[in-house]
Chains A and B, each alone.
Chain A
Amino acid sequence: MRENKKLFAKHQTLGLRLVFVLVLSAIVMVVDSRQNTLDSLRQMLSVLVYPVQSIIQIPFSLVRWGEERLTSRRDLEVELERLRTQRLLMDGQLEKLAALEAENSRLRELLRSSYRTNERLSIAEILRLDTGYHRQQIVINRGASEGLMVGQPIIDASGIMGQINTVELNTATALLITDINHAIAVEVNRNGLRTVVAGTGKLNQLDLPFLTNNSDIKQGDLLVSSGMDGRFPKGYPVAVVTLVERSSAESFARIHAEPVAKLDRAREVLLVWPAKKNTPTDVAPDAKPSSASANMVAP
């Protein structure tokens, strides 16, 4: 009868309880939807609920475990072979990536150096190097079809490389400044002294044959193009003086210089289209260099 008394009491308040509980649930729902205050409660409750979720996992984990343990050896071998092949392919692609990255940074440097000029520039690739007895030439992948002209200057990111010698339809040959047949009009950056730099046929060695013993030139001087030859645009770095030997027995000093452009390491070059015709209108007071103009055009 104890139960009946309890039940009776409960029975009477049932309706009230329902209303109370409904209102409470509604309030909890609204609070939960608007704010984060109940999140801690939710977390606590999820601890209670955790056993339910972990038990649910059991059959799936078992199946997966079984699959792993019971994979046939044949399947594993096939998978291994496939992974090896894939790895091989990817390694190959990765090697190319290193080369591509290097090319990218070279091209960026070339383009960056082109910003300081007003002349039109375009990029060409070196197809091959032609260095024979005293010959320093390169072949590039642009030709008459792109509008190349004989005598057109070639530069790289650091300085002047040479000029176009012959032009075919889709390729062209260029003389490097170190070619024995090449000379370029320069001026010393420090004091404006004008002279000519000639090639020696040896890679990375240039000659300044026309300066007397009392010329104001010393080791380390930067030589830039003077534009006096009507070929090369003014102001591009050409070489750095490496050796100055003055001997009283000779009338001219022995002066060597090293090209600034990376002649042996270049892969892409820039072609310069002159913005306007380069006319040597400034008449230089110092005699010798100006007349020694560019090169001999190959037949």
Chain B
Amino acid sequence: MTATLIQRILVISISVFIALILTVFPLTDSLRSWRPDWVLLVLIYWCMALPWRMGMLSAGLVGLLMDVLHGSLLGMHALAMMPVIYVVQKFHLQLRAYPVWQQSFAILFFLIMYRLPIFWLHGMLNNGKPVFGWQEIIAGTLVWPWLFAMLRRMRRLHKLD
């Protein structure tokens, strides 16, 4: 009764696609600093829910797409996402067992872990003043419960195992 391969690919791809759009959609200056890291959050969810299907390879590919979208060096976003995905895959069982508010703390930790290499690399590559992005991290933590519920509903709707 589980979904076919095509269905699975479609659902996950669409969610990643929407996350990509949200990442680069032009926003006003004040709103822009509060933009959560949608792509990472969506990937975290899918790696948590389907750890044997989604993993570092998918994260790497999505990371390349992010690099092309943002115009950064190829491999930078993948480098930043890999450690997070590793931890998610290693501890996916515990993470799924947590209540949502406790999950949010883990997400906070993950977001910080993601932002650190990006911050470091931006500073190294002289891409202007490097921004650590606390506001993005906070926004991501706050958005997580809603996102988790949305994606879980989608997963159950299409019966992705």
Contact = CB atoms under 8 A, between A and B. Distances in A.
Nearest to A33: B73
B69 A52 contact: yes
B52 interface: yes
A6 B55 CA distance: 12
Nearest to B82: A21
A13 to B, nearest CB: 10
Contacts of A250: none
A205 to B, nearest CB: 79
Secondary structure type dominating chain A contacts: helix
Contacts of B123: none
B26 interface: yes
Contact of B74 (A10, A29, A49, A53): A29
Interface in B111-127: 121, 125
Contacts of B68: 42, 45-46, 48-49
A56 B65 contact: no
B51 A10 contact: yes
B24 A53 contact: yes
Most buried by B among A21, A27, A32: A21
Contacts of A26: 75, 79
A18 B82 contact: yes
A27 B67 CA distance: 15
A41 interface: yes
A14 B52 contact: no
28 contacts: A3-B161, A7-B52, A10-B55, A10-B89, A14-B90, A17-B56, A17-B86, A18-B56, A18-B82, A25-B60, A25-B75, A25-B78, A27-B75, A28-B75, A29-B79, A29-B121, A33-B125, A38-B74, A41-B74, A42-B74, A48-B65, A49-B68, A49-B69, A52-B17, A52-B20, A52-B24, A53-B24, A60-B26
A11 interface: yes
Interface string B43-70: 0000000011001100010011101110
Interface string B108-145: 00000000000001000100000000000000000000
Given A3-B52, A51-B17, A11 B79 contact: no
Interface residues of A, number: 32
B76 interface: yes
Interface in B71-103: 73-76, 78-79, 82-83, 86, 89-90
Interface of B: 17, 20-21, 24-26, 51-52, 55-56, 60, 63-65, 67-69, 73-76, 78-79, 82-83, 86, 89-90, 121, 125, 161
Contacts of A56: 21, 24-26
A55 interface: yes
A97 interface: no
B82 A25 contact: yes
A208 B25 CA distance: 90
A22 interface: yes
A266 to B, nearest CB: 63
Given A10-B52, A17-B55, A18-B56, 15 more contacts: A3-B161, A11-B90, A18-B86, A21-B56, A25-B79, A26-B75, A28-B75, A28-B78, A29-B76, A45-B64, A45-B65, A49-B65, A52-B17, A52-B21, A53-B24
Contacts of A27: 75
A250 B65 CA distance: 105
The 3 A-B pairs at the shortest CB distance, nearest first, are namely A28-B75, A25-B79, A29-B75
Contact of A6 (B52, B67, B121): B52
Contacts of B125: 33
A158 B26 CA distance: 68
Contacts of A11: 89-90
B142 to A, nearest CB: 24
Nearest to B121: A29
Contacts of B73: 29, 32-33
Contacts of A51: 17
